[in-house]
Amino acid sequence: MRDVGSIDSLMPWNLAARCFILELDSFCRSYMLTKRLVSIMKKRDGFTKDRILDAAEEIFSNKGFDGTKVQEIATAAGVNKAMLYYYFKGKDGLLISVIGRIVQGIGDAIPQYFSDNSDTVESIDAFLDFYIGYLAKNGSFVRLMAWEMLSGRHIQAIAEDYIIPIFSLIREKIVEAVSRNMIREVSPEHTVFSVVGMNVFYIVASPLFMHILGEDPLSPEMFAKRKKAVKDLIMYGLVPRDDEAKK
């Protein structure tokens, strides 16, 4: 027979062990619940920020920075005005974030078109296809940048934070392609300026072109023609001629 006294002596330890297990279980459940809540809150924050950025992009592009009111953006986004200040610190920070979000989309795409083993000419052609299509989908961004270039208020911050890093990366790829005799010896800077100008001006001037052409220059059919024309011009200027290739 077991010693009853010894069993009784173990009871406090058994009780302590059970309490510990219950506390541990409660902690684990609370921890998992907290993680789920944090995950949900992050997704909700991201969704709210995107709604604000979408509304701000549309209104800024139509009215410019000075003509836009914070309350107007908040109403369009379906949020309290205080949320804009919470996420973006104010109207200036919001505008820069709007531009940064779209410019970053271009920067994120560059590595997939210009890998170390890629054919440079084909990569440039594919990147032009992406870039022109990207601007077509983000016409409000192009109009917004036109407003900002005219006012000059936020241009330095936009250039330093977003434009210069992407410009430097593309310039580096062009210099590399020239050194490998993959493309003609062109000015990297002016090549980039020409690509940007041919596409940005077409979108900004589309109201004028509509009267000239008698049809919407931003319609899918017309923009497809524009894309082909721009790519033909750029690639004709970049690909070496037969007589140059022999040198």
Question: 97-128, pLDDT tens digit by residue?
Answer: 999 999 999 988 888 887 766 667 888 888 99
SS (H, E, C) 47-73: HHHHHHHHHHHHHHHHHCCCCCCHHHH
Provide the b/e sequence for 115-146 (b: ≥16 CB within 10 Å).
Answer: eeeeebeebbbebbeebbeebbebebbbbbbb
Say if CB 151 and CB 64 are below 8 A apart.
Answer: yes
Say if CB 129 and CB 231 are below 8 A apart.
Answer: yes
N-term to C-term CA, the chain: 105
CATH 1.10.357.10 fits 90-245, yes or no: yes
Q: Which of 29-43, 84-98, 158-172 shows the lowest mean pLDDT across its residues?
A: 29-43
pLDDT over 70 percentage in the chain: 77
Question: 215-226, pLDDT tens digit by residue?
Answer: 999 999 999 999
Domain boundaries, the chain: 4-77, 90-245
pTM more than 0.85: no
Question: 53-87, pLDDT tens digit by residue?
Answer: 999 999 999 999 999 999 999 999 999 999 999 99
Q: How confident is the model at residue 151 (pLDDT cuts 50, 70, 90)?
A: confident
- pLDDT value of residue 35: 44
